[in-house]
Amino acid sequence: MLNAVGTLILGYCLTLGTGYRMTSHSSGKKQFQVQNGPCSYTFLLPEQDNCPTAAGDADTNLVQKDDPEEYEAIQRLEQLEGIMENNTQRLLMLENYIQENMKLEIAQIQQHAVQNHTAAIIEIGTNLLSQTVEQTLKLTNVEARVINQTTRLQLQLHENSLSTSKLEKQIILQTNEISKMNEKNSFLEKRVEDMEGQRLVELKGLQEEKEQLKQLLQQQTSIIQQLEQQLLHASSNNSVLQQEQQKLQDTVNSIINSIFSSTMTKSAMMQDAPTVFRDCAAVFKSGNTNSGIYSLNLPSMTQPIKAYCDMETEGGGWTVLQKRFDGHVDFHRTWKEYKMGFGDVSGEHWLGNDFISQMTSDQTYVLRIELKDWEGNSGYSQYDEFSLTGESENYRIHLKDYSGSAGKISSLGQPGSDFSTKDADNDKCVCKCSQLTSGGWWFDACGPSNLNGIYYQQGQNTNRFNGIKWYYWKGSGYSLKATTMMIRPADFLQAPLK
Ligand SMILES: [Ca+2]
């Protein structure tokens, strides 16, 4: 059983929110409000005007048990059905209205959403665009770099190709030169072969000549041997002749001496003047003041010798012991030759150690050495005392009081050395100075002087260890042009003329 209910629906939209409330209307109808979103719906429900109370209901129920009551109920049911139908139509209308409103809202919402999406898409698009621009810029940079690199590489490639072509040209030139050289080389090889052939022929000829010369040499050797034998025979004959000559000379000397002695006796009786002189000073003082060759003799000597007298230098009266100026005389001589003297008295010569030794044994002599170099300079060395010991003491030299211009120091050392020759080694060297440096001299070991060394001509006179040496004037390697050694009594200038 349904209660009859009248319903009125009013719809309007106000604010958001959803809910419902129930209020009592002044007309005695109850109303319901439903809130859905911005819209609210109000329902007015009609109520029955004479609803009986519970006690009254009991009476009504008694009345309704009759047919009018059923009729009344049917009417009410029909009324309710009508109301229900009206309500249903209204609800349908309401639904339509709501649907339309919803459509608009949805459209608005959709539009709004579309706008939002569009903005977001535009923003994203803008972002994408800016990113794209950045990427494009980067790409442009990269492209520019790539282009630069490509250009560089192209330039390098171009340069490389240029240098390659140059090298190729050079290679071609060198190849040409090599081929030319090869041609020359083959030409030269051919010439060398030809020359070798010629040389072989010449060598063969020379070998033949050599053989002939060998044979000739053998023949000549045998001839020389024969000659040597003949020479030996002749020299034995010669020594016999020399002995005879010596005997003859002795005889002549004795005759001369006897003549001299008789003459001297006569002269002594007539002039009391000597005719034989012991040295050039005596010659000078006898009045012979011209330089030249004179005969000298000593009481201890058996026979006189020839000597050169220098009557001009420093007052004259000098007996010359040694003279060299052109190299004509060989001074690499034996002990005996230096003992007896050698050379040309008027030219280059050595007076003789025996005579010098005896001459200086009983009187004080001054030794003067005069020297000339190849540059036109002259110098001298003088010793105020000079003497030689005898042969038994190897003609040892004694010197004192040096002065002169040929060196501030004497080139003949003190104390004096023994005399050495190529066949008599009396020096202080483990070597043999005479054989080493040539000539006879008072070598030390081998000492700073040797006036009897090898004579070297101008232009060949330097860097010589074996030349004519006077160290403290011209050094060790210099060979002098001219030398003179001469002596005079120390009292020559003081002694009065006889
Ligand atoms: Ca020696």
What is the pLDDT averaged over residues 387-411? 96
Instruction: Check pLDDT > 80 for residue 15.
Output: no
Answer yes or no: do 301 and 449 share one domain. yes
Answer yes or no: do 175 and 319 share one domain. no
pLDDT given for residue 252 in this prediction: 64
Answer yes or no: do 471 and 338 share one domain. yes
DSSP state of 314: G
User: Over the stretch 17-43, which tens digit does the pLDDT of each residue have?
Assistant: 444 455 555 555 556 666 666 666 666
Distance 431 CA to ligand 1 centre (A): 5
Q: Which residues, 6+ apart, have CB-to-CB distance to 285 below 8 Å?
A: 317, 495, 497, 498
Distance 417 CA to ligand 1 centre (A): 12
Q: Is there a domain that residue 417 lies in?
A: yes
User: Over the stretch 51-83, which tens digit does the pLDDT of each residue have?
Assistant: 444 444 444 444 444 577 888 888 888 888 888
Tokens of 470: 């006077």
Distance 397 CA to ligand 1 centre (A): 17
Distance 322 CA to ligand 1 centre (A): 24
Instruction: Check pLDDT > 50 for residue 95.
Output: yes
The residue among 201, 225, 257 that closes a domain is 201
Distance 430 CA to ligand 1 centre (A): 5
Distance 489 CA to ligand 1 centre (A): 33
Answer yes or no: do 286 and 420 share one domain. yes
Distance 401 CA to ligand 1 centre (A): 28
User: Over the stretch 319-336, which tens digit does the pLDDT of each residue have?
Assistant: 999 999 999 999 999 999
Rounded Cα–Cα distance for residues 197 and 191 (Å): 10
Domain that holds residue 370: 280-489
What is the share, in percent, of the chain residues with pLDDT greater than 70?
A: 80
Distance 433 CA to ligand 1 centre (A): 6
Distance 445 CA to ligand 1 centre (A): 8
Distance 356 CA to ligand 1 centre (A): 24
Q: Label residue 94 exposed, middle or buried (CB < 10 Å: 0-12, 13-18, 19+).
A: middle
Answer yes or no: do 324 and 426 share one domain. yes
Q: Is there a domain that residue 83 lies in?
A: no
pLDDT given for residue 21 in this prediction: 54
Rounded Cα–Cα distance for residues 197 and 201 (Å): 6
Tokens of 309: 């007298």
CB 422 within 8 Å of CB 434? yes
Lowest-pLDDT range of 167-171, 247-251, 314-318: 247-251
Distance 420 CA to ligand 1 centre (A): 9
Output the DSSP codes for 357-405.
HHHTSSS-EEEEEEEE-TTS-EEEEEEEEEEE--GGGTT-EEEEEEEES
Instruction: Check pLDDT > 50 for residue 98.
Output: yes
Answer yes or no: do 340 and 440 share one domain. yes
User: Over the stretch 192-247, which tens digit does the pLDDT of each residue have?
Assistant: 899 999 999 999 989 998 998 888 888 887 877 887 777 777 766 666 777 777 77
pLDDT given for residue 308 in this prediction: 97
CB 483 within 8 Å of CB 461? no
Distance 46 CA to ligand 1 centre (A): 179
DSSP state of 301: -
Furthest CA-CA distance within the chain: 248
Q: Is there a domain that residue 104 lies in?
A: yes
Domain count, the chain: 2
Going by C-alpha positions, the residue among 417, 450, 419, 423 that lies closest to residue 435 is 423
Q: Is there a domain that residue 58 lies in?
A: no
Distance 429 CA to ligand 1 centre (A): 4
pLDDT band with cut points at 50, 70 and 90 for residue 313: very high
Distance 425 CA to ligand 1 centre (A): 5
Going by C-alpha positions, the residue among 357, 251, 252, 309 that lies closest to residue 484 is 309
Distance 428 CA to ligand 1 centre (A): 5
Distance 485 CA to ligand 1 centre (A): 25
What is the pLDDT averaged over residues 377-400? 97
Instruction: Check pLDDT > 60 for residue 267.
Output: no
pTM of the complete model: 0.48
Distance 424 CA to ligand 1 centre (A): 9
pLDDT band with cut points at 50, 70 and 90 for residue 13: very low
User: Over the stretch 82-91, which tens digit does the pLDDT of each residue have?
Assistant: 888 888 888 8
Q: Which residue has the higher pLDDT, 301 or 237?
A: 301
pLDDT band with cut points at 50, 70 and 90 for residue 283: very high
Phi, psi of 326 (to 5 degrees): -140, -5
Q: Is there a domain that residue 207 lies in?
A: no
Tokens of 21: 């409330």
Distance 371 CA to ligand 1 centre (A): 27
Instruction: Check pLDDT > 80 for residue 11.
Output: no
Distance 432 CA to ligand 1 centre (A): 4
Q: Is there a domain that residue 84 lies in?
A: no
pLDDT given for residue 495 in this prediction: 66
Distance 389 CA to ligand 1 centre (A): 20
CB 348 within 8 Å of CB 439? no
Going by C-alpha positions, the residue among 485, 342, 366, 479 that lies closest to residue 421 is 342
CB 459 within 8 Å of CB 375? no
Q: Label residue 178 exposed, middle or buried (CB < 10 Å: 0-12, 13-18, 19+).
A: exposed
Instruction: Check pLDDT > 60 for residue 9.
Output: no
Distance 419 CA to ligand 1 centre (A): 11
Distance 427 CA to ligand 1 centre (A): 5
pLDDT band with cut points at 50, 70 and 90 for residue 314: very high
pLDDT given for residue 189 in this prediction: 92
User: Over the stretch 427-448, which tens digit does the pLDDT of each residue have?
Assistant: 999 999 999 999 999 999 999 9
Answer yes or no: do 286 and 194 share one domain. no
Answer yes or no: do 100 and 196 share one domain. yes
Q: Is there a domain that residue 139 lies in?
A: yes
Answer yes or no: do 438 and 300 share one domain. yes
Answer yes or no: do 195 and 290 share one domain. no
Q: Please work out, in degrees rounded to the nearest 5, the angle formed at the alpha carbon of residue 479 by the alpha carbons of 474 and 481.
A: 100
Question: CATH code at 438?
Answer: 3.90.215.10
Distance 190 CA to ligand 1 centre (A): 61
Q: Which H or E run includes 77?
A: helix 67-270
Q: Residue type for 300, please?
A: S
Instruction: Check pLDDT > 80 for residue 343.
Output: yes
**474-485 as b/e: b if 16+ CB within 10 A:** beeebbbbbbbb
Phi, psi of 387 (to 5 degrees): -160, 160
pLDDT given for residue 239 in this prediction: 67
Output the DSSP codes for 331-343.
----HHHHHH-EE
Distance 350 CA to ligand 1 centre (A): 23
Distance 414 CA to ligand 1 centre (A): 18
DSSP state of 316: S
Q: Is there a domain that residue 342 lies in?
A: yes
Q: Which residues, 6+ apart, have CB-to-CB distance to 360 below 8 Å?
A: 386, 387, 388, 487
pLDDT given for residue 229 in this prediction: 78
Q: Mean pLDDT, the chain, as a whole number?
A: 83
The residue among 150, 185, 201 that closes a domain is 201
Q: Which residue has the higher pLDDT, 240 or 95?
A: 95
Rounded Cα–Cα distance for residues 321 and 350 (Å): 6
DSSP state of 451: T
User: Over the stretch 467-494, which tens digit does the pLDDT of each residue have?
Assistant: 999 999 999 899 999 999 999 999 998 8
Neighbours of ion ligand 1 (CB under 5 A): 425, 427, 429
Answer yes or no: do 182 and 287 share one domain. no
The residue among 170, 201, 232 that closes a domain is 201
Distance 421 CA to ligand 1 centre (A): 10
Distance 475 CA to ligand 1 centre (A): 23
Instruction: Check pLDDT > 80 for residue 375.
Output: yes
pLDDT given for residue 382 in this prediction: 97
Distance 422 CA to ligand 1 centre (A): 10
pLDDT given for residue 407 in this prediction: 95
DSSP state of 476: S
Instruction: Check pLDDT > 60 for residue 14.
Output: no
Distance 407 CA to ligand 1 centre (A): 27
What is the share, in percent, of the chain residues with pLDDT greater than 90?
A: 48
